[in-house]
């Protein structure tokens, strides 16, 4: 459902050719050109290409490296055209705008502070998530994804007024108003718990994700608008359950790396994994955490003491990392 989280393999057309293949093609193209325009020089140039010490051969090799770099850069630019591969902030904004989705401001910052505090904007991952959800909310809510989009995009739907001031004349007005709580909802999940009854759980960006009563109230009011809610649904916005977990591990290194730097890298990797899974229906897998710690630090083994068992949450729960305790040990073998 979210291609940016599980992208398809990159097609061969946007892969970079290996140097040896590219160099052989350049030499072949040069010789083919000489066959048509200077056939008397073909044998001499071919002999030159076979001699690694010749300056023309070195220039050709340098050209192949330059061509390889240009191809790699063009491929990277081409990938930015697709939401599943896009990482450039401006391109993500452009892609999301195709469905009328704009980046939310999580915190306005303070330009008058010293030093100035920059505003905190919605991440590329979160914006792309709402972009892919937007297709389910083009008409109204009703689907799980539709409810999720509207709950995460407070104020995204304009107010529409239809007036007929005179006969044979109709005026439709779309009013796009700023919503003071836009960007406060990190995630949302809705489920039908009984015929005509829908519970919608929302997760906040603040703290452990538990939304305050104000955010619950404004979300309830917004989702109940007559141009958003389903007439057949009795919708209730609710607070989620926040299961807390701890990360405790011992990493073992070969002699050499600085233990403090390794510890900082491990803590950063654990926090990033926890933040990625801090969503409704998130899952904390010890095997995944074990892999994250090893790959981010270069440690050759680890003892993961907490968590011991997987923490797999339902749609009304979001796991929250409460503490990290990483110990780094050097093994002299």
Q: Say yes or no: 134 and 221 in one domain.
A: yes
Q: Look up residue 110 and give its DSSP letter.
A: B
Taking only Cα atoms into account, the Rg of the chain, rounded to an integer number of angstroms, comes to 28
- DSSP H helices, 153-285, are 213-223, 259-277
Residues 246 and 284: their CA atoms lie apart, in Å, by 10
- Give the per-residue pLDDT at 1: 67
Q: Say yes or no: 130 and 218 in one domain.
A: yes
What is the β-pairing status of strands 311-312 and 283-284? antiparallel
Q: Say yes or no: 70 and 154 in one domain.
A: no
Q: Say yes or no: 196 and 271 in one domain.
A: no
Per-residue pLDDT of the chain (333 residues; tens, 9 = 90+): 688 878 888 888 888 889 999 999 999 999 999 999 999 999 999 999 999 899 999 999 999 999 999 999 999 999 999 999 999 999 999 999 988 888 988 888 888 888 899 998 989 999 999 898 887 766 555 678 888 989 998 887 777 788 888 888 989 887 777 778 888 899 999 999 999 899 999 999 999 999 999 999 999 999 888 777 787 889 999 999 999 999 999 999 988 888 899 999 999 999 999 999 999 999 999 999 999 999 999 888 999 999 999 999 999 999 999 999 999 998 876
Pick the last residue of a domain from 196, 218, 238: 238
Q: Say yes or no: 152 and 229 in one domain.
A: yes
User: What are the angstrom distances between the C-alpha of 193 and each of 89, 196, 233?
Assistant: 39, 8, 11
Residue 96 lies in a domain: no
Residue 72 lies in a domain: yes
Residues 41 and 144: their CA atoms lie apart, in Å, by 70
Q: Say yes or no: 133 and 70 in one domain.
A: no
* Beta strand ranges found along 90-243 (DSSP E): 105-107, 120-121, 159-166, 169-175, 185-194, 197-204, 234-238
Q: Say yes or no: 210 and 148 in one domain.
A: yes
Residues 242 and 86: their CA atoms lie apart, in Å, by 31
- Give the per-residue pLDDT at 92: 94
Total domains in the chain come to: 3
Q: Say yes or no: 148 and 50 in one domain.
A: no
Pick the last residue of a domain from 238, 253, 272: 238
Q: Say yes or no: 139 and 59 in one domain.
A: no
Residue 92 lies in a domain: no
Q: Say yes or no: 223 and 307 in one domain.
A: no
Residue 110 lies in a domain: no
Residue 101 lies in a domain: no
Q: Say yes or no: 232 and 255 in one domain.
A: no
Cβ burial 109-144 (10 Å sphere, 16+ → b, else e)? eeeeeeeeeeeebbebebbbbbbbbbebbeebbbeb
Q: Say yes or no: 138 and 49 in one domain.
A: no
- Give the per-residue pLDDT at 49: 93
Residue 292 lies in a domain: yes
> Are 1 and 132 in contact, with CB atoms under 8 Å apart?
yes
Pick the last residue of a domain from 64, 85, 106: 85
| Helix H or strand E encompassing 312 | strand 311-312
Parent domain of 141:
124-238
State the CB neighbour count (10 A cutoff) for residue 34.
17
């Amino acid at each position: 459902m979210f291609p940016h989280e599980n992208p398809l393999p990159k097609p061969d057309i946007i892969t970079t050719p290996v140097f040896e293949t590219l160099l052989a093609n350049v030499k072949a193209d040069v010789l083919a050109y000489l066959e048509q325009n200077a056939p008397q020089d073909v044998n001499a140039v071919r002999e030159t290409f076979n001699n690694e010490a010749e300056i023309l051969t070195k220039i050709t090799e340098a050209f192949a490296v330059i061509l390889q770099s240009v191809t790699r850069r063009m491929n990277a630019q081409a990938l930015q055209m697709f939401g599943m591969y896009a990482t450039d902030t401006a391109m993500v904004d452009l892609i999301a705008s195709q469905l009328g989705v704009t980046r939310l401001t999580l915190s306005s910052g303070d330009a008058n502070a010293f030093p100035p505090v920059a505003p905190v904007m919605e991440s590329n991952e979160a914006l792309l998530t709402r972009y892919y959800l937007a297709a389910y909310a083009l008409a109204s809510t009703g689907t799980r994804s539709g409810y999720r989009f509207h709950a995460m995009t407070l104020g995204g739907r304009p107010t529409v007024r239809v007036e007929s001031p005179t006969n044979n004349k109709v005026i439709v007005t779309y009013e796009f108003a700023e919503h003071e709580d836009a960007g406060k909802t990190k995630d949302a999940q809705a489920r039908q718990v009984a015929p005509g009854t829908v519970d919608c759980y929302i997760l906040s960006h603040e703290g452990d994700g538990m939304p305050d009563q104000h955010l619950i109230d404004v979300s309830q009011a917004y989702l109940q608008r007559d141009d958003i809610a389903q007439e057949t649904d009795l919708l209730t916005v609710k607070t989620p359950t926040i299961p807390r977990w701890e990360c405790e591990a011992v990493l073992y290194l070969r002699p050499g790396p600085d233990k403090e730097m390794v510890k900082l890298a491990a803590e950063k990797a654990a926090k990033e994994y926890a933040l990625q899974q801090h969503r409704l229906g998130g899952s904390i897998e010890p095997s995944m955490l074990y892999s994250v710690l090893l790959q981010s630090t270069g440690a050759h083994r680890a003892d993961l003491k907490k968590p011991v068992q997987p923490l797999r949450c339902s749609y009304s729960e979001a796991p929250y990392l409460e503490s990290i305790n990483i110990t780094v040990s050097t093994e002299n073998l």
